[in-house]
Structure 1
Amino acid sequence: MKMIKLCENQKFDGSWELTEKISKILGKSQNEIKTSATIQDVNVWTTALAIAFLRKYFLEQRDEWEMIEEKAFNWLRTRDVEGKDVVQEAMNFLST
């Protein structure tokens, strides 16, 4: 159910916006997400977290969300990620 809710909240452009709904799905408070951001653009960080969340908890259902992930990566490529692997950093954050 969390996977579906997360996917339903992806914006048309492929990104995710930090909302109360998204923070609940991710199991972190909005404040935790904002303060943990390793990059200035919170929507880039939220999008990276969404990808990492799907990979961490729903890897066996990847065929169901692979296109969603691809759309998110295409959006991330258009953003300044400050030379960081934001998805890997998001994976690390979700593991804490």
Structure 2
Amino acid sequence: IMPGVVYMDHGARVDSIIPGELDRGGAIDLISPDGLTSKNCVGMATSGYLVEVEKVSMAQMEQWQQQYPEAFEKEYDPASGLRFNAWVEGGTD
């Protein structure tokens, strides 16, 4: 990989902190185009994206935790991200 290049093999899970704006799950589909290649077929003609990457400070994370507490109340594993039961609601019936 060339210097200044960001590489992502595959997407991950959506884990929105600010829906439509900030995702900590690494879901690549959130930055891909909404449109289709044509009216006759489904697909995307993409070869890359311009992105901006910056390290999150603890102050930013603490601010998001205060502003968006619901995003941080889901069960989360630091190694693998959101747990299955963070998305599933209801009993075991």
TM-score range, shorter-chain basis?
A: under 0.3
Question: Under a length normalisation based on structure 1, what TM-score does the superposition of the two structures give?
Answer: 0.24
- Structure with max Cα Rg: 2
Question: Under a length normalisation based on structure 2, what TM-score does the superposition of the two structures give?
Answer: 0.25
Structure that is richer in strand per residue: 2
Structure that is richer in helix per residue: 1
User: Which has the higher relative contact order, 1 or 2, with Cα contacts under 8 A spaced 6 or more apart?
Assistant: 1
